[in-house]
């Protein structure tokens, strides 16, 4: 009985082995996925006021930098044989010089490879000394005070023009087109506002225009009635304000409420559509300047990408902070290193075409051949009316036409078919040669 059971078990086991043996061979496993390539994290700082009265401009600047970072990461850039992972470290300096130096040191401690910013001249200038001490390059896309690049720091750059270019541009346009005999100048006592107002005053006086003694406010002034009442009694033909839109808007609104009819003009800090929101209908007819091409004249690819990502159009200097970020990354690529000591020489000699046009820097770090744009407010929207470059003023429409790519050459015309021989009645009365004569 036991032998029978053993035999049955043995046969069953052999049958099982036979089934397995006759079945399909196990399929080979696919090879394991290769490990991801080594990566390197590269931090780029950005600083602007993200709270307070001009937070909308700060966020616009940050958006430009963030778009450049995202595009660089999507491009899977290789640096030092590793895939670069760029990280934007954004800080809020509240447009306050003291806070600006604090966040500058914070970025140094975070070991950023470069900085885009700050927005304001008043924060950029003191912060630049901290970056310079740490040998970290910075590129501002909006700080226009000449002092920023007059300090002799080799790692400080800007992608916009300077106030000693912008001030003469708006002052010369005002003098030539509005022909004021008496001008009042007001500033907000910041490095930007006062510096720009100084340049405007110098240009107007050189053109023979009389300028009233300077009036002052602050970057927080909201009630301008005392200053404006004094100006009303002096009846200026034009008023220039050096400051931002958060204070320039109330200044203009209150001036019209006091029935001051002078032409009001502003620098880039108040050259925004927000002036309509702050000043209401009083904003129509204002003149203002921007230290660069207007946002709507930026590269079409950039404008489309910005709109897609942020569901808005750039306000002012986003194309310039975008370019500043791209310039840092491009210099790192050329040097094959995020080490500032290695890529700074590449940044100093770079030639690059960005969203705001062709960019290269002079020995001070200023953008060569920077354009200036003059705007007016029409029906609540800023409209560019003139571009000033190299001391020459051209209409914005002519600038756009000159910037458009040349049309493709027209295809060569198709050769017309040979004309039919004239009919006998129209042909000259000469007898056609005989066939044998042709053969000869």
Classify residue 408: in a domain, yes or no: no
pTM over 0.85: no
pLDDT of residue 302: 97
pLDDT of residue 377: 95
Angle at 356 between CA 355 and CA 359, to 5 degrees: 105
pLDDT of residue 399: 86
Classify residue 431: in a domain, yes or no: no
DSSP SS3 for 360: coil
Partners of 156 in the β-ladder? 138
Residues 177 and 285 in one domain: yes
pLDDT of residue 407: 57
Helices assigned H by DSSP within 297-408:
300-310, 318-335, 340-348, 396-403
pLDDT of residue 35: 72
pLDDT of residue 389: 85
Classify residue 383: in a domain, yes or no: no
Residues 273 and 303 in one domain: no
pLDDT of residue 406: 57
pLDDT of residue 401: 80
Classify residue 307: in a domain, yes or no: yes
Residues 86 and 197 in one domain: no
pLDDT of residue 417: 44
Q: How far is CA 14 from CA 7, 9, 391, in A?
A: 10, 9, 100
Residues 277 and 342 in one domain: no
Burial of 296: CB neighbours in 10 Å, binned 0-12, 13-18, 19+: middle
Residues 255 and 395 in one domain: yes
DSSP SS3 for 425: coil
Q: Packing angle between helix 121-133 and helix 97-109, nearest 10 degrees?
A: 30
Look up the domain containing 341 and give its range.
39-160+297-368
- Residue whose C-alpha is closest to residue 217's, from 183, 247, 255, 249: 247
Residues 46 and 68 in one domain: yes
Residues 273 and 397 in one domain: yes
- How would you write the pLDDT of the chain (440 residues) with one tens digit per residue? 444 444 444 444 444 444 444 445 666 677 767 777 799 999 999 999 999 999 999 999 999 999 999 999 999 999 999 999 999 999 999 999 999 999 999 999 999 999 999 999 999 999 999 999 999 999 999 999 999 999 999 999 999 999 999 999 999 999 999 999 999 999 999 999 999 999 999 999 999 999 999 999 999 999 999 999 999 999 999 999 999 999 999 999 999 999 999 999 999 999 999 999 999 999 999 999 999 999 989 999 999 999 999 999 999 899 999 999 999 999 999 999 999 999 999 999 999 999 999 999 999 999 999 999 999 999 888 999 999 988 788 899 888 887 665 555 554 454 444 444 433 333 333 333 333 332 33
Classify residue 380: in a domain, yes or no: no
Classify residue 381: in a domain, yes or no: no
Residues 94 and 54 in one domain: yes
Residues 263 and 311 in one domain: no
Q: How far is CA 386 from CA 86, 136, 288, 420, in A?
A: 38, 37, 11, 57
Residues in the chain: 440
Residues 313 and 285 in one domain: no
Classify residue 425: in a domain, yes or no: no
- Residue whose C-alpha is closest to residue 103's, from 88, 123, 86: 123
Helices assigned H by DSSP within 142-294:
163-178, 191-206, 225-234, 245-257, 274-279
What CATH number did the domain enclosing 86 receive? 3.40.50.2300
Give the separation between CA 427 and CA 408, rounded to whole angstroms: 43
Q: How many domains does the chain have?
A: 2
Residues 156 and 303 in one domain: yes
Classify residue 357: in a domain, yes or no: yes
pLDDT of residue 290: 92
Tokens 């660069």 belong to residue: 292
Residues 282 and 328 in one domain: no
Q: How far is CA 373 from CA 42, 117, 279, in A?
A: 35, 21, 22
Contact 58, 141 (CB under 8 A): no
């Amino acid at each position: 009985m036991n032998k029978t059971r053993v035999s049955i078990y043995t046969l069953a086991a052999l049958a099982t082995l036979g089934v397995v043996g006759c079945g399909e061979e196990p399929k080979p496993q696919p090879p394991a996925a290769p490990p991801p390539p080594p990566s390197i994290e590269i931090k780029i700082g950005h600083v602007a006021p993200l709270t307070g009265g001009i937070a909308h401009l700060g966020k616009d600047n940050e958006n430009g930098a963030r778009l450049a970072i995202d595009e660089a990461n999507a491009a899977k850039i290789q640096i030092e044989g590793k895939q670069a992972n760029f990280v934007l470290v954004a800080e809020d300096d509240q447009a306050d010089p003291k806070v600006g130096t604090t966040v500058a040191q914070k970025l140094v401690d975070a070991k950023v490879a470069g900085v885009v910013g700050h927005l304001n001249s008043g924060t950029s200038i003191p912060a630049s000394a901290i970056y310079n001490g740490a040998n970290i390059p910075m590129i501002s896309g909006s700080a226009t005070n000449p002092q920023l690049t007059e300090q002799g720091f080799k790692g400080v750059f800007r992608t916009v023009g300077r106030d000693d270019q912008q001030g003469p541009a708006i002052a010369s346009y005002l003098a030539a087109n509005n022909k004021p005999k008496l001008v009042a100048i007001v500033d907000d006592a910041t490095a930007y506002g006062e510096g720009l107002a100084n340049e405007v005053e110098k240009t107007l006086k050189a053109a023979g225009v009389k300028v009233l003694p300077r009036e002052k406010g602050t970057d927080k002034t909201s009630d301008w009635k005392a200053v404006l009442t004094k100006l009303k009694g002096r009846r200026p033909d034009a008023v220039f304000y050096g400051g931002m839109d958060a204070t320039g808007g109330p200044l203009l609104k209150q001036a019209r409420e006091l029935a001051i009819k002078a032409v009001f003009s502003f620098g880039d800090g108040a050259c925004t559509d927000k002036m309509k929101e702050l000043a209401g209908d009083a904003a129509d007819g204002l003149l203002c300047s921007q230290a660069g091409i207007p946002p709507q004249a930026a590269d079409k690819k950039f404008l489309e990408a910005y709109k897609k990502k942020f569901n808005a159009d750039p306000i002012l200097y986003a194309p310039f902070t975008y370019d500043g970020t791209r310039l840092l990354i491009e210099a790192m690529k050329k040097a094959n290193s995020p080490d500032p000591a290695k890529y700074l020489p590449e940044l100093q000699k770079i030639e690059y075409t960005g969203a705001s046009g062709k960019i290269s820097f002079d020995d001070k770090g200023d953008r060569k051949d920077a354009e200036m744009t003059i705007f007016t407010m029409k029906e609540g929207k800023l409209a560019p009316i003139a571009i000033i470059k190299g001391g020459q003023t051209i209409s914005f429409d002519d600038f756009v036409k000159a910037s458009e790519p040349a049309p493709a050459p027209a295809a060569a015309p198709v050769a017309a078919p040979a004309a039919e021989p004239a009919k006998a009645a129209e042909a000259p009365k000469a007898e056609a040669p005989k066939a044998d004569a042709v053969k000869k």
